[in-house]
Structure 1
Amino acid sequence: MPPLHHLSRRLVASSASPLAVRAPIGWLADSQPAAARHIQTATRSRPNSTHTPVHDRDADSHVYDITDFIGTHPGGEIILRACGGSVDPYWKIFSIHQKQEVYDILQQYHIGEIDERDLDDAGKLNWNVLGDQAENYIIDDPFKHDPERDENLIVRTAKPCNAETPGNLLVDFLTPLRLFFVRNHLWVPQTHESPQSLTVELSDGEEMTLSVEDLKAKFKEYTITATLQCSGNRRAHMSQGAGGKTSGLPWDIGAIGTAEFSGVRLRDVLRHAGCDVDDDCPSPTQCCSDEVDKHVHFMSPSDTYAVSIPLHTALNPQADVLIAWDMNGAPLNRDHGGPLRVIVPGTTAARSVKWLGRISISTDESASQYQQRDYKCFGPNMKQADCTGDDWAAAQAIQETPVQSAITNILRANGDNKTTVTGFAFSGGGRRIVRVDVSADGGKTWKQAELQADKAKGARRWAWTLWKIQWPKDELQPGKEVEFVVKACDESYNTQPQTFDSIWNFRGLLANAWHRQTRAYEDL
């Protein structure tokens, strides 16, 4: 085995307790040659060794080689911040890691154990061997300046904050900002950390920087009404289907919301920066034909989050892609991406990048984790462990989203002896909802709901449609549980699948099977 200071692969160590310590031992060897003995055995090439990886949270001081995992880490290259030191402080803060599936993934990269001479009396790594370097492993909580959130939100993870709107509160056409779902991969930048200007880089390398004031002064302001929905909305429902558990946050129906966004069109900014933009655009794929195969990349501070959309979408005047600074008539707050956020309506919310600081044009899609891994679907026969790099590369990154609907409230009958059922329906790509079907017997018979009028703004239908139906109680079966079901149909006559069986995928994305809610007859 070569000396540790010659190893080039990323090595981490673990005490594998619920708050696991992971220390890049390769760095320790470089800075402290005596620490070269930290690796006692390397087991990847010795499967019969006594140190063959066995997952055990109570075992101490495991060593892992995570080189092959960096590209698939859901937090992207943020994992590299722990290189050269323990990530124990990070895992104490990022509590999202403290679950069995994460430990199981880590165990795949186990290669050895720490020499017991480098452990303290409690069997933990003895950081005194690092001398003055030990203080480098004490980190400040990056979430301590996160904004306060409404107590009504259902928190799925606290650090980073991922919280959804309770379904019964999704009753307004425009979702109140305090109730709008929060989806964060990391901490929320403080105001002084967020970009106060936007840099645009064209494919020829030319750059232009515009302040927020420049954007407001130089371009016409537009307002659109757009529904943003997390790709994993209703994942919890898919996990309850025949396909079994999926990977990701267990969203119910509330990782969705609708708001008015004001700002400038991205196409106008790109034109100003020198991009050749066609004024007449008969179809999205004919916009700026020489640019049709290119992509626009959106990046937040330090490239901690980056994704891309097809350039023809950005250039299409009917696509309404905005660089926004207002949400529901107020400046974008920190949680929702202020001061600048790109809004790509009709597309999964993952493409509407918060804290926008940089835009570039490229012949390739974004190479980020969030473009290449996080938001892709596979067939119901595929398991994550079966997917090769070629499988991931060939899979289509999610852009437009399929038709979706949900029941938000089932209200007890009043004087007219009718039970009122309400909800929302939405389809991506600017497709209008034309019909909502509701059943009170599990899907055997149907009635059509009343679609509520609204004043949505935009070149196309970017917002959800609220609906309601009143069901005479004498048409419901007394003495039994009543199963209400909803499914929607958009203007292209796309509709929802009956179950999750045919659309199950291990990431739990685009979960849009019929939504069901059951009530006892006595409660109606």
Structure 2
Amino acid sequence: MEVFHGPSTYEREPSRHPALKINSKEPFNAEPPVDELVRSYVTSVDMFYKRNHGPVPVLEDISLYRLEVGGLASNRCSLSMDAIKQLPKHTVVATIQCAGNRRTAMSMTRKVKGVGWGLAALGNGIWSGARLSDVLEIVGIPKYSRVSAYGGKHVEFVSVDKCKEENGGPYKGSIPLFQATNPEADVILAYEMNGEELSRDHGFPLRVVVPGVLGARSVKWLRNINIIAEECQGFFMQKDYKMFPPSVDWDNVNWGSRRPLMDFPVQCAICSPEDGSYLDGKGKVTVKGYALSGGGRGIERVDVSADGGKTWTEAKLAQGPKSGLGYIPDDDDHRDKWAWVLWEASIEVHLPADIVAKAVDTSANVQAEHVETIWNLRGVLNNSWHRIHINGTSKQLHSNL
């Protein structure tokens, strides 16, 4: 029996929280109710979205686990979990977001292919593990390297799971070598999530966490790290998770014409009240949501409108927890670098109303106003203004006649 393997059936799946909205059962893909996202700055393990491409891998004996590191490096190494945990432990607060978050809304404009994610294909976690740059030094690659001694320019992560898209092979992805060897990029090999051992759904026993980059590059169930000359040639780097203009469809797509997606764009969404809600009367309504941006760019502000975008109110950005969770870094600036912000705004509404939210990041990037302008055949990176419609009760509607 293999010590660590990707099963071909779904008979040994982990248990999941019953409140999750299941978008596909096999492989299991699910997201929490949207209002759960704004209950806590740190998303619980149970309520963190689940993204799988096959059955969840099984590790029979952690004492026999080995991470193989090699490729175009001066040395090779095989690391046990004990050896990895002997390296300096680093903790980073980072939001992981699926590239397909908010895909359903994009599909309403024109049909796209992919899991039908709503607003909750993301979560904010506290990740702890060894810096990738420390591990790469073991195989002879110094920090801040752009190329290895043998011509390596990228770092490939190989999982143990079995994906139909890879013809039953493992999930793979890569990042540039400079990002991998730069300690300030905070790329880690995580073995803890929210202060506890990784769960199976989230990559036990070891996963990559690449902050500020779409979740497809934070490979779970890690088995190999390879230093390679070019980008990973796997399916999810070369024939998926790429951005095409609205004019490209499945009849004329040329996958080689676009680069793999990395940093996610500025994003925000309204989590409360929910679209289609019924509220009594008129007056103040408290609107809550999340906002984030990729590449280490924080959120400068969130604007909320109660009249479909004619006038705007600036939302209050909530801070992360100040106490009670000692494993969260004390440096607020560092914490916000890779993490979302939760926000809320008290706005005057006259029902029925169309409420809109948009975010601006610290580089002055702003969300696209209309989803039609960013439509793409895979339905990725929908960061258009988020719009919800709020209804009045029947009594309120009657009074408006």
User: Shorter-chain TM-score: which interval?
Assistant: 0.7 to 0.9
One-letter code aligned to 2:89: E
Q: Relative contact order, CA 8 A, sep 6+: which one is greater? A: 2
1-structure distance, mates of 2:77, 2:283: 64
1:511 aligns with 2:382: yes
Q: Determine if the alignment matches structure 1 residue 306 to structure 2 residue 172.
A: yes
TM-score normalised according to structure 1 size: 0.66
**Counterparts of 2:318 and 2:231 in 1: how far apart (Å)?**
39
**Contact 1:318/1:460 (8 A) holds in 2:** no
Deviation of the 1:419 alpha carbon: 1.2
Bigger proportion of residues as helix: 1
Alignment partner of 1:268 is 2:134: yes
Q: Deviations over 1:102-133 (max 9, x none)?
A: xxxxxxxxxxxxxxxxxxxxxxxxxxxxxxxx
Give the letter aligned to residue 482 of structure 1. A
Unmatched 5+ stretches in structure 2: 1-6, 162-168, 322-327, 397-401
Count of residues in Structure 1 that have an aligned counterpart in Structure 2: 365
Q: What is the CA–CA distance in structure 1 between the aligned matches of 2:129 and 2:206, rounded to whole Å?
A: 9
Are the equivalent residues in 2 in contact too, given 1:319–1:460 (CA < 8 A)?
no
Number of the residue aligned with 1:337: 203
Offset of 1:454 from its aligned partner? 1.1
How many Å separate the matches in 1 of 2:26 and 2:134? 37
Equivalent residue number for residue 36 of structure 2: 169
Name whichever structure is richer in strand by fraction. 2
1:10-89 matches, within 5 Å, as none
Aligned equivalents of 2:287, 2:362: Cα separation in 1 = 23
Deviation at 1:522, TM superposition (A): 3.6
Q: What do you get for the CA RMSD once the two structures are aligned?
A: 2.3
SS at match of 1:386: coil
Deviates more, 1:299-308 or 1:192-201: 192-201
Instruction: Give the direction of change, closer, same or farther, for the CA distance of 1:413–1:502 in structure 2 (3 Å limit).
Output: closer
* 2:162 is the counterpart of 1:295: no
Deviation of residue 205 (structure 1)?
A: 7.0
The residue aligned with 1:368 is 234
Contact 2:264–2:381 under 8 Å retained in 1: yes
Q: Which amino acid aligns with 1:209?
A: S
Q: Percent identity?
A: 40
Give TM-score, length-normalised by structure 2.
0.86
Q: Which amino acid aligns with 1:465?
A: V
Counterpart AA for 2:78: T
Native 8 Å contact 2:31 2:120 kept in 1: yes
After superposition, residues 466-481 of structure 1 pair within 5 angstroms as: 466-472=342-348, 476-477=349-350, 480-481=351-352
Shift of 1:204: 4.2
Provide the C-alpha distance between the structure 2 equivalents of 1:206 and 1:462, rounded to a whole number of angstroms: 32
2:186 is aligned with 1:320: yes
Change beyond 3 A, Cα 1:332–1:518: same
Taking the aligned partners of 2:23 and 2:284, their CA distance within structure 1 comes to: 35
Aligned mates of 2:74, 2:23 — CA distance in 1: 41
1:181 pairs with 2:49: yes
| 2:42 is the counterpart of 1:200 | no
Three-state SS of the structure 1 residue aligned to 2:156 is strand
In the aligned structure 2, how far is the partner of 1:201 from the partner of 1:235? Answer: 37
Instruction: Rate the CA distance shift 1:250–1:466 in 2: closer, same or farther, 3 A.
Output: same
User: Is 2:152–2:228's contact at 8 Å kept on the other side of the alignment?
Assistant: no
Whole-angstrom distance in 2 between the partners of 1:487 and 1:329? 32
Say whether 1:409 aligns with 2:275: no
1:385–1:205 Cα change, 3 Å: farther
Contact kept in structure 1, 2:156 and 2:227, CA below 8 Å:
yes
State the Cα distance separating 1:202 from its structure 2 match: 3.7
Aligned to 2:165: none
| 1:488-499 correspondence runs (5 A) | 488-499=359-370
Q: In the alignment, what sits opposite 2:93? A: 225
Contact map agreement 2:130 2:190 (CA 8 A) in 1 = yes
Q: Is the 8 A contact 2:173 2:236 kept in 1?
A: yes
Structure 1 CA distance for aligned equivalents of residues 272 and 336 of structure 2:
28
CA shift for structure 1 position 290: 3.8
1:322 Cα deviation after fit: 0.3
Whether contact under 8 Å (1:436, 1:487) holds in the other structure is: yes
> 2 CA distance for matches of 1:441 and 1:373?
41
Could you say which structure has the larger radius of gyration? Answer: 1
Give, in whole Å, the separation in 1 of the partners of 2:296 and 2:73: 32
Q: Supply the AA of the counterpart residue of 1:262.
A: S
Partner of 1:484: 355
